[in-house]
Structure 1
């Protein structure tokens, strides 16, 4: 449902030119708006006579949202694209803004207009309206709507105060009157036509009669906007005259505004096609991608990235000949991959870096096949085998990693996937598809072909797209396929969050959500969770890497004092909260029966809280008896008295837990109908566990 908001008209009792001078002082950052972190000029153009100034910015904002919602969404900041059209002749400023972050889930459109007061030309009016369309947001649609309304209301109030603040600042500096714009005798070519309209970027890009127009309204190619017909046929494929003109205009704009290496025409064309040849949208998308490639050194990834041995052995994907149309063919045996093990062994960023290298290799192979076949090969085909896919693949951090990978690939490698063939899709596939499909562009989704049964080899199946002689042996073909078979990643490969943080990889994502801990005889590891509302849900996911563990949950009536042995032993992580002077049943109480888990087990579970207050999760070495905390110092890492685990915990409101993507481990708990093998402990308010 689309929500629309509109503010009352504000009146500034100052001339339009003064208000514009005050408005310009908000950029590139504004200390008076704490959520406004930064802005970057994407384009800056003038009309031929200098009357119209159009500037487009990417604005970085910190959203005042609950920590949980930020954690679910996986972002701390969001980006908006703002287009300002300042017309000095008409004395108007039109501001159009839309969100770039989560644009496929939430659409935020805001329009603002500064104009001269109809009854007093020495005053300035301001109008503001916005619309919010939430398609889906991880089950938090109502929460997002409330946050948006709250921020919009705050923005309306603060906006007027900020303009008045900068107006006062101008007056204190002696600026009390600014002349109106008058048409110049000659069109301005290289200088600012008006003092107060100076752009905030370091360079002023001005337009002359020969400049390039990137407006989407052009319907005919400009005279001379032509490419060699043989070149188009050989490397680019079929282009209409308008599409050809768009390519030439965007390439020329890049040559004028970007220093250094300009992308090849094939690369530029992908972004134009992804935005249906809308020049403005394609330019924005391409510029952001070029900045991203430079920031994270993606251009050199094929030379600098060497997959770790764990990836080479357990990542079940690889290149395999080409399809019937000459596209490079990539095979991914997703059902055979241990996504949880790969994330814990390598971290999300290593997996992303590997996927980026695959995409870079795909583009390289497309160029090579273009030369081999003598016709444009601009995309590749992916064959995904889902044999073995089950509920363990719907593990929350794994799905989160997959969604982030899709988001990065969609933004930076548009139109590189020619076709995606999915075979042996099991019954659980619709659940996964429901989670990932909103993140996939509509044009890309149309390229998906799914074969759920076993009849995928005959007519109407794979042979329509892949020559029968190269169908892999594991799919019933005769071609030996060297793609790794995947399998379970040994826990010996698992790394702690410190090890992952210190690994040599590009920092594209936040740190791993897992923490590691040492558990000693007589010195358990404990985590405190503060619950504000009853019936909240505490969820957990932990792996026992060494030793046997007893897991328990307590409700505390006292505030624990942290005793952290890591101050004595920096290489360890062991936190104790329950003081040995506390009395069970008086100072704290047990809310669940203790459960014992063995070395190598992975446990996921949840507990519905009966009361608000402080809860303590405790991992205790199996068979340990109470002893002095000082005994920990004598327990060396790796000894028989030391256990080790990796864990993740999260607190959810009860209405967010059922079926929420933020806790996909709930799909394995007693709250979900998706898992028939689940066991639940005692009362409905208690916890549920599953281990594999």
Structure 2
């Protein structure tokens, strides 16, 4: 049985602040040999051609590499590895495309690499570089895993080295007085004086070049890293300088994971994607496993959308009771620039707050704190000139006693921890627990299993007065910021708390006051389950012909097919019996189209079926032509029926195996608008606020009017 292993890499956009022609001269200095790249032993030109006007130059080389796996190569009786590299430079368009593949072991391992150099779209004196590669290991004498590790390690180490080599040769050219190479011009017509096409490599230094004309002088003054908006070659792509400035130091493979997950989100979420630092948190939480991070992030985005968490900072106003008795608040920042949140948990009457306000209000308040924390991280990133992606929490446990172990209070705490862990991963940079009493180990035993291992490693616990002096708080928080109640000089405005008066407790008949928005029940979105053989359907009655039905839904689990039908007859509702445990809890399932109805007779199709994959966010609209009953249907997607002479497709078989428990889940919202009120093809359903206001960066969406039906991912 052959083992198949595939690895992919996608680089960010790297910007050289030099003209394209000068970068090309530096690039060609790598051939035929390059002492700066030890693994590159040499190259030989196999084929070379130029277009008649000299604008296009193609070189195909055989490149000889020394791989850092001598024992493995010896076993395979191979001394070196050979690659075929094809370079196509277009002097007119100022682009270079590099395509490379391995010649050695080609029947066992396939390595494909594509690189491109092009002019920066916003500054024609700068050059952009992008790189992508794939490693497909079919079989390698039982050493597939070893080959994969060696190949990826060597490849990623050479990525950084390749950039350094180009910069090395650029500096070498400049030291020789070569700072400008003229651009290509078309060949002269008869009678005109000839102008030379720019040459690279061995001929470049022989050109009559204008020393000091351009090049270094084009470097921006001041900061060597301009804002991302100035450097980013494309709003849909990430620039390497931007990543380092705003997201921090990432390995090449970590950069690749971020870019690939970001691209997937752009394709499936119609451009409304979270900010890069938010995507990166989910990747870190799943050790940069793209599939696991994508699953976690998609669940979180659907949760945010369903419960309108993006608008919590605008909509949530904590009750006066919380302002007085919730003993937490923001307090400057720690030594690393992280926002500092102080929580005097020992002084908080958790039982009183739960009884007076209920779990929902406390949960919503904690979510607003986390949203505020993300906002403060962004502000500090801009203020301190370095990436700040997490905050520090200082918890004072003085006063903690058995009263805090009240069962409903602990249950509420565990629920809050679970929600925060699922939706705000890697936001806590450090947790400093001070004045931990004897009862603390009991609480820790109850709580710690619900806290992620990565998060637990960020905890520092001090008992008694151990937090004072060297090794204590002063190692992490400036002395001038330590609160007065912990022996510091800084006045802290965090409420002191106290017991909540029992007169403020809610009665059993009034579990929560009506003015509190219930996080889990009050939502414009509905949840539904789609079972095998039991689609979920909703009916919309249209009384006037010219109306617009709009929809917005997210696929939480499985793949479904979405369709829109029209009928003159009113369908009868039937609910599918739950054939699996907890089906009803997962969402409703309603069927409207009667089994006896005939398509084309009793009802007709209004939109072509749309296959919607797990994790996708779909928005669309349909302009109705006739009155009647319109049925929106979500049906489980399965493999297409095969003809008698054909075998099932592998992709279809795998897809059918991946749908666990024969059940799909989705959340959806729909609305009917008068035609005159419709402002285009569902610009993120503006009427129901379904965007990502807090997490999204600037995105663009179509506002073009649609006179016909429109489905969009």
TM-score range, shorter chain: 0.3 to 0.5
Tell me which structure has the larger Cα radius of gyration. Answer: 2
Using CA pairs under 8 Å that are at least 6 residues apart, name the structure with larger relative contact order, 1 or 2: 2
TM-score w.r.t. length of structure 2:
0.40
TM-score w.r.t. length of structure 1:
0.42
